Amino acid sequence: ALDLEGKTAFITGAASGIGRATACAFARAGANVMMVDREKGGLEETADMVRKNGVAVGTVVADVTDRVQISEAVKATIEQFGTLDCAHNSAGFYPAPMDIVDVSEDIARRTLEVNYWATYYCMQAQIKVMLERGGGTIVNTSSVAGLVGAPNDAVYSASKHAVVGLTKSVALAYAARGVRINVVCPGVIETPMVEKIIGTDEGRSVVTAMHPIGRLGAPEEIANAVVWLSSPAASFVVATSFAVDGGFTAD
Ligand code: NAD
């Protein structure tokens, strides 16, 4: 049921971390992959990894906070592959942890732009083409910080709560029209994004202790969940905030 042969997957943030792992996992499931990121070098590295699975690959260098660039990336997907079946919106921004009184307005707005507004732009463009083609799936990317409070990451947490709210509401609106939408909420995953926290022994052990499983996550563990959520195996899963977090948010 994880067979996505002949489908087209569209992934933002594919030059690194979770987005890169998802691009590879979609390719292993047989999907052709369109990848978007503003980092050209990283995108090309991911493209080489994806191609090894024998699927077709496209790349678009774009800033996800620019609505026009996103709509052009979606258009390029249709031009190259004729369809856009599964989207994973993974691009995100994590500012350094700090007290709310020290967060500049610039950083606060940037965080909302990349995490919330870009998700909104992506969904708008993706849903339009999916409806024209009989449906599709979207997985957005929130965080454990989108489910519970995060004292040193208030603005990031707010942006990720917004992604959960947006996803649930839009998912309900389109559930009966063939577009199945969910949001994945990762625990702390070993990627460059969180190097500033897990890069020191102390930071790593504090953060590891928040995960009952006793370790941090790997990008592939999120990618597996995203591909499952995007596949026919998850055909009855709608509007879920899907925690993949080693037990972080369990009551
Ligand atoms: P990462 O830094 O490894 O990858 C993020 C990618 O997004 C990068 O390739 C970056 O170039 C791209 N990106 C950022 N801003 C962009 C923009 N404006 N336009 C285009 N591309 C842009 O980080 P990651 O850990 O893979 O994070 C992926 C997602 O997972 C993010 O939404 C993040 O908030 C979320 N997340 C990560 C963790 C974690 O612990 N790593 C935990 C929970 C949620």
**What is the domain count for the chain?**
1
Q: What is the pLDDT of residue 228?
A: 98
Percent of the chain with pLDDT over 90: 98
Residue 163 has pLDDT above 80, yes or no: yes
Percent of the chain with pLDDT over 70: 100
Q: What is the mean pLDDT of residues 229-236?
A: 98
Q: What is the pLDDT of residue 109?
A: 98
Average per-residue pLDDT for the chain: 97
Q: What is the mean pLDDT of residues 214-223?
A: 98
Q: What is the mean pLDDT of residues 196-208?
A: 95
Q: Is residue 197 part of a domain?
A: yes
Q: Is residue 249 part of a domain?
A: no
Give residue 13 CA to ligand 1 midpoint distance, Å. 6
Q: Is residue 250 part of a domain?
A: no
Q: Is residue 158 part of a domain?
A: yes
Q: Is residue 251 part of a domain?
A: no
Strand order, beta sheet including 86-89: 57-61, 32-37, 8-12, 86-89, 136-141, 179-186, 241-244
Q: Which atom of ligand 1 lies at the shortest distance from residue 193's CA?
A: 2
Flag whether the ipTM exceeds 0.95: yes
Q: What is the pLDDT of residue 2?
A: 85
Q: What is the mean pLDDT of residues 173-186?
A: 98
151, HSE (Cβ side, Cα atoms, 13 Å)? 0
Give residue 15 CA to ligand 1 midpoint distance, Å. 9
Residue 251 has pLDDT above 90, yes or no: no
> Looking at ligand 1, which residue's alpha carbon is closest to its atom 23?
193
Q: Is residue 19 part of a domain?
A: yes
Residue 1 has pLDDT above 70, yes or no: no
Which amino acid is residue 42, in one-letter code? G
Rounded to whole angstroms, how far apart are CA atoms 49 and 223?
15
Q: What is the mean pLDDT of residues 51-62?
A: 98
Of 10, 12, 18, the residue with max ligand 1 atoms within 8 A of its CB, to mutate for a pocket test, comes to 18
Q: Domain of 14?
A: 8-244
Q: Is residue 210 part of a domain?
A: yes
Q: What is the 8-class DSSP label of residue 221? A: H
- The CATH number given to whatever domain includes residue 52 is 3.40.50.720
Phi, psi of 240 (to 5 degrees): -85, 140
Q: Which atom of ligand 1 lies at the shortest distance from residue 186's CA?
A: 43
Q: Which atom of ligand 1 lies at the shortest distance from residue 141's CA?
A: 32
**Residues assigned a catalytic role:** 156
Q: Is residue 1 part of a domain?
A: no
> What count of other Cβ atoms lies within 10 Å of the Cβ of residue 26?
32
Residues with CB under 6 A from ligand 1: 13, 15-19, 37-39, 42, 63-65, 90-94, 114, 141, 143, 186, 188-189, 191-194
Poorest-pLDDT segment among 56-60, 190-194, 196-200, 230-234:
196-200
Give residue 115 CA to ligand 1 midpoint distance, Å. 9
Of 94, 120, 139, the residue with max ligand 1 atoms within 8 A of its CB, to mutate for a pocket test, comes to 94
Residue 87 has pLDDT above 80, yes or no: yes
Q: What is the mean pLDDT of residues 36-62?
A: 98
Give residue 176 CA to ligand 1 midpoint distance, Å. 30
Sign for the CA dihedral angle at 179, 32, 120, 231 comes to positive
